[in-house]
A and B are shown apart, each in its own frame.
Chain A
Amino acid sequence: MSNLIPVHPLEKRWIYVVLGVIALFLGAIFYTALVHQVHPPGAIETIDSATLHLGGEFAEDKLGVRTDADGHLRATLVAARYGFYPREIRVPEGLPITFRIASADVLHGMHVPMTNLDTMVVPGYVSTVTTTFPKPGEYPMLCNEYCGMGHDHMWSKVIVVSRESWKAAAPQTGR
Chain B
Amino acid sequence: MTDSGFKKLVLSHFWVAFGAFGVASVLGLYQVVERSGLIPALQSPKVYFASVSTHGVLMAYVLTTFFVMGFGYLVAVSSLKTPLWNPKLAWVGFGVSAFGTALAAIPLLTGRGSVLYTFYPPLQASALLYIGAALLVIGSWFWCVIMLVMYGQWKKGHPGETVPLPMFANTANAILWLWTSAGVALEVVFQLIPWSLGLMDTVDVGLARTLFAWTLHPIVYFWLIPAYIALYSFVPQAAGGKLFSHELGRVAFIMLLILSLPIGFHHLYMDPQQGKGFKLAHGVGTFLVALPTLITGFTISASLEKAGRQAGGTGLFGWIGTLPWRDPMVLAAILAFGMLIAGGFGGIVNASYAMNAMIHNTAWVPGHFHLIFAGTTVILYMAIAYYVWPSLTGRTLVSRTLPVIQLWTWFIGMTILTTPWHILGLLGQPRRISSVVYNSVLTLAWTPYELAMIVGGAILLGSALLFLYILWKSQTAGAPEANAEIRYAGYEEPETPVPVLLNDFKLWNRIILALMLVNFGYPIAQFFFTKTFGSIGWGY
> Chain A: residues with CB nearer than 8 A to chain B?
1, 4-8, 10-11, 14-15, 18-19, 22, 25-26, 29-30, 32-33, 38-50, 105-107, 109, 111, 113-114, 116-128, 138, 140, 142-153, 155
- Contact B428 A49, beta carbon cutoff 8 Å: no
- Contact A113 B428, beta carbon cutoff 8 Å: yes
- Contact B435 A152, beta carbon cutoff 8 Å: yes
Partner of A148, one of B275, B442, B498, B539: B539
- Contact B540 A149, beta carbon cutoff 8 Å: yes
A38 CB to nearest chain B CB (Å): 4
Contact residues in B for A111 (Cβ distance below 8 Å): 360-362, 428, 430
B134 CB to nearest chain A CB (Å): 21
Digit string of B159-181 for contact with A (CB within 8 Å is 1, else 0)? 00000000000000000000000
Report if A19-B291 is in contact (Cβ < 8 Å); known contacts: A8-B244, A44-B274, A152-B434: yes
Contact residues in A for B206 (Cβ distance below 8 Å): 122, 124-125
> Chain B: residues with CB nearer than 8 A to chain A?
45-46, 49, 116, 120-123, 204-206, 209, 244-245, 247-248, 251, 268-276, 279-280, 283-284, 287-288, 290-291, 294-295, 298-299, 302, 348, 352-354, 356-358, 360-362, 427-438, 440, 442, 498-499, 501-502, 526, 530-536, 538-540
- Contact A124 B275, beta carbon cutoff 8 Å: no
Contact residues in A for B360 (Cβ distance below 8 Å): 109, 111, 118, 144
Contact residues in B for A19 (Cβ distance below 8 Å): 291
- Contact A5 B353, beta carbon cutoff 8 Å: no
Contact residues in B for A38 (Cβ distance below 8 Å): 354
Contact residues in A for B209 (Cβ distance below 8 Å): 122
Q: How far is the CA of A11 from the CA of B279 in the complex (A)?
A: 31
Contact residues in B for A18 (Cβ distance below 8 Å): 290-291, 294-295
- Contact A4 B533, beta carbon cutoff 8 Å: no
Q: How far is the CA of A38 from the CA of B436 in the complex (A)?
A: 32
Tally of contacts, chain A with chain B, CB under 8 A: 212
- Contact B361 A109, beta carbon cutoff 8 Å: yes
Of all chain B residues, the one with the shortest Cβ separation from A105 is B538
A175 CB to nearest chain B CB (Å): 20
- Contact A11 B299, beta carbon cutoff 8 Å: yes
- Contact B276 A40, beta carbon cutoff 8 Å: yes
Report if A4-B442 is in contact (Cβ < 8 Å); known contacts: A46-B531, A116-B357: no
Contact residues in B for A149 (Cβ distance below 8 Å): 45-46, 49, 540
Q: How far is the CA of A157 from the CA of B280 in the complex (A)?
A: 32
Contact residues in B for A114 (Cβ distance below 8 Å): 428, 442
- Contact A7 B122, beta carbon cutoff 8 Å: no
- Contact A116 B540, beta carbon cutoff 8 Å: no
Contact residues in A for B442 (Cβ distance below 8 Å): 113-114, 140
- Contact A119 B436, beta carbon cutoff 8 Å: no
Q: How far is the CA of A59 from the CA of B485 in the complex (A)?
A: 70
Report if A140-B440 is in contact (Cβ < 8 Å); known contacts: A46-B532, A48-B533: yes
- Contact A144 B431, beta carbon cutoff 8 Å: yes
- Contact A152 B270, beta carbon cutoff 8 Å: no
Known contacts A40-B279, A125-B206; 6 additional CB pairs below 8 A are: A5-B498, A33-B276, A41-B272, A119-B270, A145-B432, A146-B49
Q: How far is the CA of A106 from the CA of B247 in the complex (A)?
A: 49
- Contact B348 A25, beta carbon cutoff 8 Å: yes
A27 CB to nearest chain B CB (Å): 11
Q: How far is the CA of A50 from the CA of B205 in the complex (A)?
A: 13
Contact residues in B for A122 (Cβ distance below 8 Å): 205-206, 209, 271-273
Q: How far is the CA of A123 from the CA of B206 in the complex (A)?
A: 8
Of all chain B residues, the one with the shortest Cβ separation from A113 is B428
- Contact B295 A15, beta carbon cutoff 8 Å: yes
Report if A5-B205 is in contact (Cβ < 8 Å); known contacts: A44-B273, A44-B274: no
Contact residues in A for B429 (Cβ distance below 8 Å): 113
Of all chain A residues, the one with the shortest Cβ separation from B536 is A50
- Contact A6 B270, beta carbon cutoff 8 Å: no
- Contact B438 A39, beta carbon cutoff 8 Å: no
Q: How far is the CA of A125 from the CA of B531 in the complex (A)?
A: 11
Q: How far is the CA of A27 from the CA of B326 in the complex (A)?
A: 43
